[in-house]
A and B are shown apart, each in its own frame.
Chain A
């Protein structure tokens, strides 16, 4: 009973391993997520490092610095290099000649002398993330100048800064690990995995169903002494194995990407340990069954290869949505959520990726519910395959 399923599965695997389109969808698409996240982590790590590291490397471009010699001397004392900028400072930034300019307005001296208070401008193009980070550094230097001034003034009347701030605020982090800004990116891993689960075997599912019909090879195949449900299961198994391979490729790529991306406190190198990876595969297996069954159903009921391709191309977006939303609005996993295929897995994958504890009951409920729905879908697939209209599509 299993022999024909194995023969059909092996044939479909061989056939599709020779197909560039199937291979691209299964083994190149899954790389996009790890590459993108790796680049993001590296970029953020690089920018944050600029902000933190030794300020001797920092050049502050100043317009009208001669009007505030005390401030400029303070900034230079902090280790920053001062570079004077001529002309309209806003135009200099707008034209890209400088990312950030500290502008001392012409009325600076007059107001300082009169009110003892004046305004300086930090001019930046906020469309550039690096400019935003650099402007933070300049702003902090000005704030430090203010603080020194405040301290000196208070000291002259016998007070300290602390006397003005009776409350001290301390943030207590209960995350399992040391909280890092790059943990934010870990939330983006589950939607990428969901996408792979729903796209990995899609080309194979279409090729072996609508494609087989369009090539005219379905009729001779079904004339062999093999039950229709066996033919369906053989194709299902092949699509499932292809998707599983795509998932392995993606997880390996995530592991490599995380070990290379970022540096120092921004590195994700320690993430996705072997146990977390195993957990991800275990959580995804029932979901792959679910996704593959849907793919085969759609490829069976659509009339042509192109129609199937249109529907199945859109399909991964729907299950990936909750995961994408959770990047910005995290959800606390509850048991009932686990019974919803893809949603439960998205939550569990999030916990595994972040290294949070995972409830065994949740894993079992998510896996059980998704497998039950998949079994129902497979039964429906078998019914669809048994119909005479399978030959011409309906």
Chain B
């Protein structure tokens, strides 16, 4: 379970200007549930995720992974967390297997047990064909699978997945959604970030909407629909985040003049 209370984080921007990336973010992501963290670009999602991963320290508030404070007990918290960040670069000269093995070893795994887990993940993620190929030239889908496999190798009970279907084709996206549902059914706590509202609607049991560094709404998809009186989740999202619902009018197209 991931619990976040009143997180705040400021940065010094260009020219010494202070940017408040996160002002007050608080939510609970329970086990056996997919919690969607959604918000417009620059809302503070990435900063929140980085604090949860132990990559940044909050200026105020606290966050825990299974009760472990991400600042005071960073390593223990990280050990219970699997992360698929937005930055999911691979090492072009290492094979897929070596990537997963590297992260497994950093989690203290080794020997036959580690190799067994790599085999299981490769089969489950459908990456047997690229397992012993070097990552240079991998497609987006193959890159994603390797990045996911290395995030899962220590079998973390908590998962942070940032845009996990970004760049995938339809079939792969569908397979990924099934996989994420599978994580939930195993009782894991899944925090899922996406800009694709249809995917959010299809997957998430609970939504946390962030805008301008604050949580502006929280609840099940249907609860948020009822609260806004809107059916379409995209419209619900735009309404909750205070963004304009008016789409720009497309320019009028003049009817073609028939040549005589």
Residues of A within 8 A of B (CB): 3-4, 7-8, 11, 14-15, 18-19, 215-227, 388, 391
Contact = CB atoms under 8 A, between A and B. Distances in A.
A219 B107 CA distance: 16
Q: What 3 pairs between A and B have smallest CB-CB spacing? A: A216-B89, A216-B87, A215-B89
Contacts of B19: none
B85 interface: yes
Nearest to A394: B12
Nearest to B82: A223
Contacts of A391: 50, 55
8 contacts: A8-B106, A14-B94, A216-B88, A220-B151, A221-B106, A222-B53, A223-B83, A225-B78
Nearest to B94: A15
Contact of B55 (A3, A8, A216, A222): A222
Contacts of A218: 87, 89
A224 B106 contact: yes
A220 B106 CA distance: 12
B90 interface: yes
Interface stretch (B33-41, B97-105, B168-176, B251-259): B97-105
Given A215-B90, A220-B87, A220-B89, 19 more contacts: A7-B106, A14-B98, A15-B94, A216-B87, A216-B89, A217-B89, A217-B91, A218-B87, A218-B89, A221-B106, A222-B54, A223-B54, A223-B55, A223-B78, A225-B79, A225-B107, A388-B55, A388-B57, A391-B50
Nearest to B84: A220
B108 interface: yes
Contacts of B91: 15, 215, 217
Nearest to A226: B106
Contacts of A216: 87-89
Interface residues of B, number: 33
B150 interface: yes
Given A11-B102, A219-B55, A224 B89 contact: no
A227 B73 CA distance: 12
Contacts of B57: 388
A284 to B, nearest CB: 28
A244 B78 CA distance: 34
B85 A4 contact: no
A210 to B, nearest CB: 13
A317 B18 CA distance: 40
B113 to A, nearest CB: 15
A223 B78 CA distance: 6
Interface of B: 50, 53-57, 74-76, 78-79, 81, 83, 85, 87-94, 98, 102-103, 105-108, 134, 147, 150-151
A43 B49 CA distance: 66
A391 B94 CA distance: 22
Given A220-B83, A223-B54, A225-B76, A3 B108 contact: yes
A305 to B, nearest CB: 13
A14 B81 CA distance: 27
Contact of A226 (B55, B75, B87): B75
A11 B91 CA distance: 10
Contacts of A221: 106
Nearest to A16: B93
B50 to A, nearest CB: 8
A47 B184 CA distance: 82
B90 A7 contact: no
A144 to B, nearest CB: 68
B143 to A, nearest CB: 10
Contacts of A227: 75
B54 to A, nearest CB: 7
Contacts of A3: 105, 108
A18 B85 CA distance: 27
B75 A223 contact: no
B16 to A, nearest CB: 13
Contacts of B147: 220
A223 B81 contact: yes
Contacts of B150: 220
B107 A224 contact: yes
Contacts of A220: 83, 85, 87-89, 103, 147, 150-151
Of residues B54, B91, B147, which shows the largest number of chain A Cβ atoms within 10 Å of its Cβ? B91
Nearest to A215: B89
A298 to B, nearest CB: 22
Of residues A219, A223, A225, A226, which shows the largest number of chain B Cβ atoms within 10 Å of its Cβ? A223
A372 to B, nearest CB: 30
A206 to B, nearest CB: 14
A8 B101 CA distance: 11
A223 B50 CA distance: 9
A218 B93 CA distance: 16
A223 B84 CA distance: 10
Contacts of A4: 106
Contacts of B78: 223-225
A222 B51 CA distance: 12
Given A219-B87, A223-B55, A223-B83, A7 B102 contact: yes
